[in-house]
Amino acid sequence: MTAPAILHLDLDAFYASVEQRERPELRGRPVVVGGLGNRGVVAAASYEAREFGIRSAMPSVRARRACPDLVFVAPRMDLYAEVSRAVMAILRSATPLVEPLSLDEAFLDVRGAERLLGTGPEIGEMLRARIRSELGLAASVGVAVTKMLAKIASDSAKPDGMWVVEPGTELEFLHPLPVRRLWGVGPATQRRLANYGVETIGDLAALPEATLVRSLGEAAGRQLHALAWNRDPRPVDPHRATKSVGHEETFATDRCDRRALEQELTRMADLVAARLRAHMLVARTVQLKVRFPDFSTITRAQTLRSPTDLSAVIADAARTLLADVEVERGVRLLGVTALQFDGGGAVQEALPFDAPAVAPEQGALERTLDAVRERFGPDAVGRAAHTSDGRVRTDRRGSLWGPDEQAGE
Amino acid sequence: MKFRCERDTLAEAIGTAQRAVAVRSGALPVLSGVHVTAADGTVELVGCDLDLTIRVTIPAQVEEAGQAVVPAKLFDGLTTRLKAGTVTFEVEGEDARISAGPARAGVRLLPADEFPRVIEPEGTTVTVDAEPLAEALRQVIPAASRDDARPILTGILIMATPTGIRMVATDSYRLGVRDVEGVGMLSEGQKVLVGARGLNEVQRVFSSGQITVTLGEREVRFANESRSVTTRLIDGEFPNYEQLIPNGYPNKLTISRAELEEAVRLMQIVGEGREGTPVRLAMSSAGLELSATAQERADAVELIEAKFEGTDLTVAFNPQFLLDGLLAINGEEAVLESMDPLKPATLKGADQPEFLYLLMPVRIS
């Protein structure tokens, strides 16, 4: 039987490992990359930190409590993106069929490369070795016949290992695993499945599909049943298109001033629009995300009259959505996402009536801003609405995982 | 209530009246019905959604006068499928019985007393020719917006001119302007904003003969002996469109309207299902080259003979918007004039100065 040829490669503790590589004094120490403030969250934890039970998405305060010697590092996304590009370049040297899932993981289909480079497992070891020697980073690899199984296998391979699911042993490997290891099984689904006595993927596989469909709905029920039997027909898609471009921030203190929130939205819309233009995308839908102090979260979306890459249009839609949200009890997190992309970066311009919502010059203006920022840095120019104390405020680095500054009491 | 009439007459009347019936969810349930009144040798059918009212009166043998509200979709479906010939309509308790030849159908009625009293405008009534009005409406309506979020743009601006009226419609991406000579439905200096949906019915219902126009404070009514369409006026200021219409353009393309239409339809197939895929028009002395590309899906290109005066230039449009314009203009030849790829272009029928279609390009990166 031929060797499996779908690979899932995942860099171990990526952000933290990059920081340890860049700063030798951090090596061997518990390091967390994430929001530094007391409302921040952990974006990545080094293996040393994980020994203290620290995981990503954990509030920074809890992480510090778990390990007083923890070293907090502010994220440097530009650096991680650069390292990620180098990783993806190594992967693409093996096959053009590379489907990046995020900065630090990707699927590969190496069937076409076997004659030149060896079997799937051999290519997996080769890629791991090259990433270690050329970039100084540890990667784990799962090798299997489906994407789903390869991803589960790479998780089992961590840290710094490789796990090959030999053909014929797929279900033997899969069925004893806890059901939460399956794609699409979150806490809610897990609770619902527990009602049927389902704990392992094997328990799930034993349930009739009809029962799952009744309990979870048509799509989810069918999908889980198929995955439990390792039926995952999705091919590795190197052109998998970006589905959304968004930006969200947790505030240092809960905000309840609508005007201030609107200003934040304008600023975030600016960032989202610039990224849309950079990727030559135009979005048809704008989504607003609001998290309240009790962590309850709502999203509201609006479809635009025509697709856009302009911050004025995105900000306008986001503010309209915010108008229907009760902010008086406070807002912990605010986010703006643009989605539903139309191809080609073609934008239907509007007729220039004398008082148009968006002047056609707006497009030219925003592209000029892009060019200025490209050349002189993100703080070089901004909107008057975002200035405070006569200074321009733009994206605060690392704000995705909470503000850096300590909240003033 | 009981009456007899010709099936074809009744079916046509229901089909017309039901076009005003409220279809959106959340509307008053009774508005999903057609209101039927039988009296004195006529039957009147009314459809109404509070913005638009259509009345149709047909001759009938009325045995017993009365009124009822019949669910429009059922009424229409059943009547059109009955045998041709005489139809008998009779109310029995809560149901209407409709029969023709050997076929009988029953429909549960909606409560007639809940049907709103239809307000008719009060004001001076003028008589105009239907045909030029209908043709002008046919040309401008496609440019009007269908997006209820922008109510003003769902209307057609109708304004008095020294020699008649002018109609203007825009959805903010294209604009139609039509001058109509001799249709004196407004007094000097008057202008009104009328819902395009209602005017579309006016255009369908009254294609010939003479009609009366009654302009009230809040509604306008178009009517002949047997039919009327009443639609609400829209409040608000129409965008200032006049400054958009340039006096002259440096680049002028003259081309067969039918050939351009066929080519645009071809380009449209390329982007089907991918809204926003533009058609590119490369104009030069060699003619017009149309092209469209939907990445990893399809592409197409076509060169059409055309007369071009000006500097070579490429402009991209939403193919549907361009097509709407080509179908709106009249004449064998179309004239497309433009300034540059980011300024509005105009489309006209050659030697057809009364109608202008202004179209904003698609920006391509």
pLDDT digits (tens, 9 = 90+) for B168-186: 999 999 999 999 998 888 8
C-alpha A384, offset from chain centre = 31
CB A294 within 8 A of CB A257: no
Token pair, residue A31, equals 């390091």
pLDDT of A217 reads 81
pLDDT of A357 reads 45
pLDDT of A392 reads 46
Q: Which among B296, B318, B365 has CB closest to A348?
A: B318
B151 in reach of chain A (CB within 8 A): no
User: Is A234 strand, coil or helix?
Assistant: coil
CB atoms within 10 A of CB A151: 21
B132: pLDDT strictly greater than 90: yes
Token pair, residue A23, equals 């700063």
CB B230 within 8 A of CB B206: no
CB B183 within 8 A of CB B164: yes
Lowest mean pLDDT among A214-218, B65-69, B131-135: A214-218
Lowest mean pLDDT among A79-88, A130-139, A159-168, A272-281: A272-281
pTM (predicted TM-score): 0.59
Across the interface, whether the CB atoms of B172 and A239 are under 8 A apart is answered no
Superfamily classification of domain A175-228: 5' to 3' exonuclease, C-terminal subdomain (1.10.150.20)
pLDDT of A363 reads 67
Tell me how far CA of residue A6 lies from CA of A3, A40, B103, in angstroms: 10, 36, 66
Mean pLDDT of A219-225: 88
User: Is A287 strand, coil or helix?
Assistant: strand
Per-residue pLDDT tens over the stretch A13-27? 999 999 999 999 999
**Mean pLDDT: which of B134-138, B146-150, B298-302 is highest?**
B134-138
User: CA of A178 to nearest chain B CA: how many angstroms apart?
Assistant: 40
Mean pLDDT of B259-285: 88
Query: Within 13 Å, how many C-alpha atoms sit on residue B65's CB side?
Result: 4
B316 in reach of chain A (CB within 8 A): yes
A396: pLDDT strictly greater than 50: no
Q: Which element (helix H / strand E) includes A279?
A: none
Lowest mean pLDDT among A31-40, A71-80, B335-344: A31-40
C-alpha A342, offset from chain centre = 21
User: Is A79 strand, coil or helix?
Assistant: helix
Lowest mean pLDDT among A126-130, A200-204, B24-28, B189-193: B24-28
Across the interface, whether the CB atoms of B274 and A342 are under 8 A apart is answered yes
Residue A387 pLDDT class (50, 70, 90 cuts): low
- Burial of residue B1 (CB within 10 Å: 0-12, 13-18, 19+) is buried
CB B309 within 8 A of CB B227: no
Across the interface, whether the CB atoms of A351 and B174 are under 8 A apart is answered yes
Among residues A17, A44, A16, A33, the alpha carbon closest in space to that of A404 is found at A33
User: Which of B152, B172, B243 would you mutate first to test chain A, the one with the most A CBs within 10 A?
Assistant: B172
Name the one residue in this structure whose structure tokens are 């990783």: A87
Token pair, residue A1, equals 């039987």
Find the DSSP H helices in B145-297.
196-205, 257-270
Mean pLDDT of chain A: 84
Lowest mean pLDDT among A171-175, A342-346, A401-405, B79-83: A401-405
Mean pLDDT of B353-358: 96
pLDDT of A36 reads 73
pLDDT of A18 reads 95
Topology alike, domains A175-228 and A244-401: no
Dist. CA B106–CA B96, nearest whole Å: 6
All residues of chain A having their beta carbon less than 8 Å from the beta carbon of residue B344 are: 351-352
Token pair, residue B164, equals 């008649």
Token pair, residue B81, equals 């499928």
Residue B195 pLDDT class (50, 70, 90 cuts): very high
A407: pLDDT strictly greater than 50: no
pLDDT of A165 reads 95
pLDDT of A21 reads 94
pLDDT of A404 reads 44
A86: pLDDT strictly greater than 50: yes
The strand pairing partners of B302, in sequence order, are B290
Residue A214 pLDDT class (50, 70, 90 cuts): confident
Superfamily classification of domain A244-401: DNA polymerase, Y-family, little finger domain (3.30.1490.100)
Per-residue pLDDT tens over the stretch B201-234? 999 999 899 999 999 999 999 999 999 999 999 9
pLDDT of A29 reads 93
pLDDT of B184 reads 81
B170 in reach of chain A (CB within 8 A): yes
Residues 6+ apart with CB under 8 A from B216: B120, B121, B122, B123
Does B253 or A407 have the greater pLDDT score? B253
Across the interface, whether the CB atoms of A349 and B295 are under 8 A apart is answered no
Q: Are strands B61-64 and B66-71 parallel, antiparallel or unpaired?
A: unpaired
Name the one residue in this structure whose structure tokens are 């090259």: A130
Residue ranges of the domains in chain A?
1-168, 175-228, 244-401
pLDDT of B95 reads 95
CB B52 within 8 A of CB B232: yes
Lowest mean pLDDT among A45-54, A74-83, A354-363, B253-262: A354-363
The strand pairing partners of A299, in sequence order, are A289
Q: Which element (helix H / strand E) includes A256?
A: none
Residue A2 pLDDT class (50, 70, 90 cuts): confident
pLDDT of A384 reads 60
A344: pLDDT strictly greater than 70: no
User: Which of B154, B356, B360, B363 would you mutate first to test chain A, the one with the most A CBs within 10 A?
Assistant: B363
Dist. CA B274–CA A157, nearest whole Å: 42
Across the interface, whether the CB atoms of B244 and A353 are under 8 A apart is answered yes
Q: At what angle do helices B319-328 and B257-270 cross, to 10 degrees?
A: 160
pLDDT of A343 reads 55
Does B115 or A239 have the greater pLDDT score? B115
CB B346 within 8 A of CB B359: yes
Dist. CA B165–CA B167, nearest whole Å: 7
User: Is B257 strand, coil or helix?
Assistant: helix
How is A23-61 classified by DSSP, letter by letter? -GGGTTS-EEEE--STT-BEEEE-HHHHTTT--TTSBHH
Token pair, residue A307, equals 């697709």
Dist. CA B40–CA B62, nearest whole Å: 7
Give the start-end residues of each E strand in A56-205: 71-73, 98-102, 105-109, 139-144, 162-164
pLDDT of B261 reads 96
Among residues A189, A165, A170, A168, the alpha carbon closest in space to that of A179 is found at A189
Q: Enter the ipTM.
A: 0.81
Catalytic residue among A105, A170, A249, A366: A105
CB A403 within 8 A of CB A251: yes
Which residue numbers of A have CB closer than 8 Å to B's CBs? 239, 280, 282, 284, 305-307, 342-356, 360, 363
Q: How far apart are the first and last CA of chain A?
A: 66
Q: Which element (helix H / strand E) includes B181?
A: strand B174-181
For residue A372, the one-letter residue type is V
pLDDT of A374 reads 66
Q: Which among B150, B243, B362 has CB closest to A346?
A: B362
The strand pairing partners of B123, in sequence order, are none
Q: What angle do CA B170, B173, B178 make, to 5 degrees?
A: 35
Dist. CA A27–CA B168, nearest whole Å: 72
Backbone angles phi, psi at B6, to 5 degrees: -75, 135
The strand pairing partners of A10, in sequence order, are A105, A140
A408: pLDDT strictly greater than 50: no
Active site annotation includes A349: no
All residues of chain A having their beta carbon less than 8 Å from the beta carbon of residue B278 are: 344, 346
Dist. CA B270–CA B293, nearest whole Å: 7
Among residues B362, B364, B363, B330, the alpha carbon closest in space to that of B347 is found at B330
A128: pLDDT strictly greater than 80: yes
Q: CATH number of A1-168: 3.30.70.100, 3.40.50.920, 3.30.70.270, 3.30.1950.10?
A: 3.30.70.270
Residues 6+ apart with CB under 8 A from A155: A10, A140, A142, A181
Lowest mean pLDDT among A340-344, B149-153, B240-244, B359-363: A340-344
Mean pLDDT of A355-367: 60
Dist. CA A183–CA A189, nearest whole Å: 11
Does A359 or A179 have the greater pLDDT score? A179
User: Which of A302, A316, A349, A354 would you mutate first to test chain B, the one with the most B CBs within 10 A?
Assistant: A349
